[in-house]
């Protein structure tokens, strides 16, 4: 085992993961709702004091509403890529280097036998000599 494999990965409890997911969704829905309300009221000039303030201050609208949505979107993409990489690496970490080489040899030999069978030549059942 290498040093990285010995390290225990920190994993949040499932209830906390679900709580954080719910809070993230609520935040995203709230920010999108506020932005839609603000954009609908731009023409009319109506709305509450906060909406009027957002309409009047476009930079703060971007900082308070749009930027957090962009950050959450990029964070979710990062988490998705991280989970996909961990899932694909899990299969290969279970096999040692020698086992992977042996599996590759078996697959190459099987493909060679199939090609020879297509050409009508019988494939030899003996293993190739190792150097």
Tokens (6 digits) for 8: 């225990």
Domain count, the chain: 1
25-48 pLDDT, tens digit per residue, is 999 999 999 999 988 888 887 778
Confirm whether 112 is domain-assigned.
no
Q: Tell me if 45 sits within 8 A of 53, measured CB to CB.
A: no
Confidence band (pLDDT; 50, 70, 90) for 128? low
Helical spans, DSSP H, in the chain: 3-6, 14-44, 49-56, 58-61, 67-93, 97-118
58: in domain = yes
| Whole-prediction pTM | 0.58
Residue 116 has pLDDT above 80, yes or no: yes
> Average pLDDT, stretch 17-28?
92
Domain that holds residue 56: 14-94
| Cα–Cα distance for residue pair 111/108, rounded to 1 Å | 5
The answer as to whether 52 is a domain residue is yes
User: Has residue 3 been placed in a domain?
Assistant: no
Q: What is the mean pLDDT of residues 91-119?
A: 83
Confidence of residue 125 (pLDDT cuts 50, 70, 90): low
Whether residue 90 lies inside any domain: the answer is yes
List phi, psi (to 5°) of 126: -85, 155
Residue 57 above 80 pLDDT?
A: yes
Inside any domain, residue 123: no
User: Is 100 domain-assigned?
Assistant: no
Tell me, yes or no, whether 31 lies in a domain.
yes
- Pairwise pLDDT comparison (40 vs 125), residue with the higher score: 40
* Cβ count within 10 A of residue 24: 13
- Give the residue from 58, 50, 57, 56 showing the smallest Cα distance to 34: 50
């Amino acid at each position: 085992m290498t040093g990285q494999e010995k390290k225990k990965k920190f994993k949040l409890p499932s209830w906390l993961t679900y709580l954080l997911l719910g809070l993230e969704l609520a935040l995203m829905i709230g920010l999108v709702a506020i932005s839609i309300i603000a954009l609908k009221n731009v023409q009319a000039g109506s709305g509450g004091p906060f909406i009027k303030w957002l309409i009047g201050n476009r930079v703060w609208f971007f900082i308070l509403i749009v930027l957090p949505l962009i950050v959450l979107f990029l964070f979710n993409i990062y988490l998705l890529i991280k989970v996909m990489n961990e899932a694909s690496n899990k299969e290969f970490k279970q096999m040692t280097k020698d086992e992977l080489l042996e599996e590759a040899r078996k697959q190459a030999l099987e493909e060679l036998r199939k090609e020879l069978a297509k050409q009508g030549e019988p494939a030899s059942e003996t293993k190739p000599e190792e150097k």
